[in-house]
Amino acid sequence: MSENSPDKLAIREVRLGATRAEGGTREVSYVIGGDRGLPFCGNDAGRRLVALEICDDPAIWPPVVRNYVGDLVNNPEDWAQAAERRYGADLVRLNFTSTKKRGFNAFADIASTTERVLEATTRPLIIEGSNDPQVDSEVFRRCGEAGEGERLLLGTAEADRYRSVAAAALAYGHLVIAQSPIDVNLAKQLNILLRETGVPEDRIVIDPYTGALGYGFEYSYSVMERIRLAAIAGDDDLAMPMISAPTDTLSIREVREAAPEEQDAMAVAWEFYTAYSAFVAGASVVCVRHPLTVERLKKVLEA
């Protein structure tokens, strides 16, 4: 199937995080990618990572997680630490949900929260900044600056608002999550745009957008398979590792309307089936929100 020599990597190797020797303060850095063929077919090289999502403003965070995690939601650095030490996550994805409020301008907090979470954790860090062209520039500059040298994975860049994420990556040595709306050609186009802006190819991670299971998940699944196949066939513009973050999962009706004593089980089952399938489709990093899901995924991956 592949036209490449057996030695050629289909997916580029991408390094997340930087240890002291590499210019950062992490205890470990991770290499993802490096695959030669289809996922789980004996060609895998890089890590498969499970990230736990946390946020700086839990107001719109899924209630089922708030209930399970308790007070931690009010303190991102404690939450991040628990993610690593108690829940077993390979790394944390810090969502700056505070930026969604209208008229957001607490930019200094972006910087300080980033610093505090970095200090509280030992692993690489994924940061989901803002999603609003009005504040993007300042938000990404702040977290980029605060994390300079740590090789953060910054998200998300989209076709019509990628410059600030790219600028932060270039200015402060970070990586970019390139997100497209479940379309192979748009994913490719965005990677080309980022490359033309100067972002090196080994600092891009593709996010083809993951819909929740039962709410369009199969579209995402197939796009991920197609991206992997394109990379195997030699398409350089799609030869990046993928990240899957089915963020809507815990707001779906099945979880919201489950009986209180069954809610955690439903949340975890839904997240688990989605996240695991994303790995099978070729994702290198999958983000989940319920701590119990992390444990179950890690168990399967280690087997």
Binding positions for another protein, 18-57, rule CB under 8 A: 38-42
Q: How far apart are the first and last CA of the chain?
A: 28
Nearer to another protein, 81 or 249 (CB): 249
**Nearest by Cα to 14 from 47, 61, 52, 38:** 47
x/- track of binding to another protein for residues 125-164 (CB under 8 A):
-----------xx--xx--xx-----------------xx
Binding positions for another protein, 218-277, rule CB under 8 A: 218-219, 221-222, 225-226, 229-230, 233, 248, 251-254, 256, 258, 262, 265-266, 268-270, 272-273, 276-277
Our finding on whether 183 is near another protein (CB under 8 A) is: yes
Nearer to another protein, 9 or 193 (CB): 193
Taking the complex as a whole, the smallest distance from the CB of residue 102 to another protein amounts, in Å, to 9
Taking the complex as a whole, the smallest distance from the CB of residue 80 to another protein amounts, in Å, to 26
Our finding on whether 75 is near another protein (CB under 8 A) is: no
Nearer to another protein, 31 or 276 (CB): 276
Report the distance separating Cα 87 and Cα 81, nearest Å: 9
**Nearest by Cα to 191 from 221, 231, 245:** 231
Taking the complex as a whole, the smallest distance from the CB of residue 44 to another protein amounts, in Å, to 8
Tell how strand 153-157 and strand 91-95 pair up: unpaired
* Degrees to nearest 5, angle at CA 257 with 254 and 262: 85
- Alpha helices by DSSP H, listed for 46-129, are 63-69, 76-85, 107-120
The angle that helices 291-302 and 260-281 make with each other, rounded to 10 degrees, is 40
User: Tokens 């949340």 map to which residue?
Assistant: 267
Size of the site for another protein (CB under 8 A): 70
- Alpha helices by DSSP H, listed for 147-216, are 163-172, 184-197
Our finding on whether 166 is near another protein (CB under 8 A) is: yes
Report the distance separating Cα 129 and Cα 100, nearest Å: 10
Our finding on whether 211 is near another protein (CB under 8 A) is: yes
Report the distance separating Cα 49 and Cα 269, nearest Å: 19
30: helix, coil or strand? strand
Q: Note the residues at the interface with another protein (CB under 8 A).
A: 3, 38-42, 136-137, 140-141, 144-145, 163-164, 166-168, 170-172, 183-185, 188-189, 192-193, 196-198, 200, 211-219, 221-222, 225-226, 229-230, 233, 248, 251-254, 256, 258, 262, 265-266, 268-270, 272-273, 276-277, 280-281, 296, 299-300, 303
